[in-house]
Amino acid sequence: MSKPPPRLQARSPRGFQDLSGHAVRARTKMIATIREVYDRYGFEPLETPALEYVDALGKFLPEQDRPDEGIFALKDTDEQWIALRYDLTAPLSRFVAQMGQDLVLPYRRYQVGSVWRNEKPGPGRFREFTQFDIDTIGTASPAADAENCAVLAEALEALGLKRGEFIVKINTRRLLDGVMERIGLQPGSADPQSLCVLRAIDKFDRVGIEGVRLLLTSGRKDESGDFTKGAGLSAQAADIVLDFMQAGQASRGETLSALARAVANAPSGRAGLDELEAIDRILANLGIDEGRAIFDPGIVRGLAYYTGAVLEAAITIEITDDEGRRRQIGSVAGGGRYDGLISRFTGTDIPATGVSIGVDRLMTALSLAGRIGASQAEGPVVVTVFDKSRMADYQRIAAELRAAGIRAEVFLGEGGLKAQLRYADRRGAPVAVIAGGDEFAAGTVSLKDLIAGRALSAEVAGNEQWREKSRAQVTVPRGELVAQVKAILQPPA
């Protein structure tokens, strides 16, 4: 007799996660809130395929016979490599180029969707995650960059964050180019020394000013003893970079003055100052003050990619981590100007700027900040079943509740009232509707307030006290069913 085949092991691929119930509802609500803000600013929705040709994503290594660099790829039936999109910007660039003259410019779009990265997963680091982007294509106006900042600030406030609990930080690639000019390096260069300088600037939040000084000059040994080679700058050149990094002040105007001194007369630096001055004026007219958006010379984002203004949005609420240390939540969104990306398809630069919210990271941040959590009344109203022969009556009760906009379900499992109430409680139901032969004969229904029951259960000490206090149940005329359920769901203030 042959052995039965082994049972399949139920498991998810590494770096992928299931979401259900409260998590899905919280994310759906969060996305809807952000979308309302995007709509108010005139952005239009766009959906692009999950799969793109690999060359469109810009993640192909020509010296190898298959795609690499962090993407999931496969060969199509026409022997061409296609891959799951790495972000939402590369597909947008392909779309803009493909539409050509049929696309009305400036084109303002938003898009939300999953992206995939074939990278090593870790705590809080997944291979599939959701991004929510806005982009403005076809204008070089700094007003578009300023709007990115304003939209981000308004979206975070719409999600319940108060001023002082988040900040949008703005910098520009041109200022960094000006600093490079002053210390004798080529702006925009990918030479090892220039890249080492940029990496040192990017580590300011982690290693502090003296740590950056070492990384700019002779190198730095960290607490574990690992040594990072320095950029080899002179002390004078390092001071120029450090003066630039410390130019951030309490007001945007003061920061601009300090930056003017830091970049001196470098042509790229002057262009960067003009850009930030224009953004500052527009932000002021939009009502975005320093409590919501600041200039921060320490913001460095993918400088081989961005060509002008760059920004990050960070949540500044402090939390206690697993090791008992106080820390800020940190960045949840970022973006900037990328005027050269679409030229890969068109041969000519088309100005573009955008920003991307990391939906999963923002959800985690809002949860840590106590802005989202499981609701006491998140589940549906549960209509219990005493007599299965009267299933049509129970379904009619549920239908009335649904018609009034109330989530409701009829219990379709097995078990008596006690088992059904346990089910309703585990579902997070706010109310259980109870109707047996006596209630049908009298034209009434009984409503068990499970919200009040859960609150009382947290207060009582023993079974006797529970029996005395847990009678959060009323019997009402059948015609008042909907009104009474609404009263439980939305009690008077």
Per-residue pLDDT reduced to its tens digit, 75-100: 988 888 899 999 999 999 999 999 99
Report the pLDDT averaged over residues 358-370: 87
pLDDT at res. 380: 94
Candidate ranges 18-32, 280-294, 454-468; pick with highest mean pLDDT: 280-294
Q: What percent of the chain has pLDDT over 90?
A: 56
pLDDT score of 328: 76
Which range has highest mean pLDDT (104-113, 205-214, 452-461)?
104-113
Q: Residues 162-181: what's their mean pLDDT?
A: 91
Residue 54 has pLDDT above 50, yes or no: yes
pLDDT above 70 as % of the chain: 90
> What pLDDT does 318 receive?
82
pLDDT band at 303 (very low <50, low <70, confident <90, very high): low
The pLDDT of 396-421, averaged and rounded, is 95
What average pLDDT score do residues 19-23 get? Answer: 85
How much is the pLDDT for 470?
Answer: 47
More confident residue, 265 or 311: 311
**pLDDT digits 0-9 by tens, 261-270:** 888 778 888 9
Lowest mean pLDDT among 203-207, 322-326, 360-364: 322-326
pLDDT at site 454: 66
pLDDT (average), residues 141-164: 95
Q: With 80 as the cut, is the pLDDT of residue 391 above it?
A: yes
pLDDT of residue 322: 64
Q: Which two tokens stand for residue 22?
A: 């409260």
CB within 8 Å of 136: residues ≥ 6 apart: 106, 107, 108, 144, 147, 148, 352, 353, 354
Alpha carbon 397 to chain centroid distance? 40
Which domains occur in the chain, in start order?
A: 22-50+85-172+263-368 (3.30.930.10), 381-489 (3.40.50.800)
456 — pLDDT class (breaks 50, 70, 90): low
Write down the mean pLDDT value for the chain. Answer: 87
> Residue 299's pLDDT band (boundaries 50, 70, 90)?
confident
**Which stretch of 113-127, 232-246, 465-479 has the lowest confidence by average pLDDT?**
465-479
116 pLDDT more than 60: yes
pLDDT at residue 65, rounded to an integer? 55
Residue 6: band (very low, low, confident or very high) from pLDDT cuts 50, 70, 90: confident
Mean pLDDT of 395-423: 95
Q: What is the reported pLDDT for 374?
A: 54
Q: Write down the pLDDT at residue 207.
A: 87
User: CA-based angle 177:180:183, to the nearest 5?
Assistant: 155
Q: Quick one: CA dihedral 153, 154, 157, 158, positive or negative?
A: negative
Comparing 155 with 184, the larger pLDDT belongs to 155
253 pLDDT higher than 90: yes
pLDDT of residue 313 exceeding 50, the answer is: yes
Q: Is the pLDDT of residue 53 over 50?
A: yes
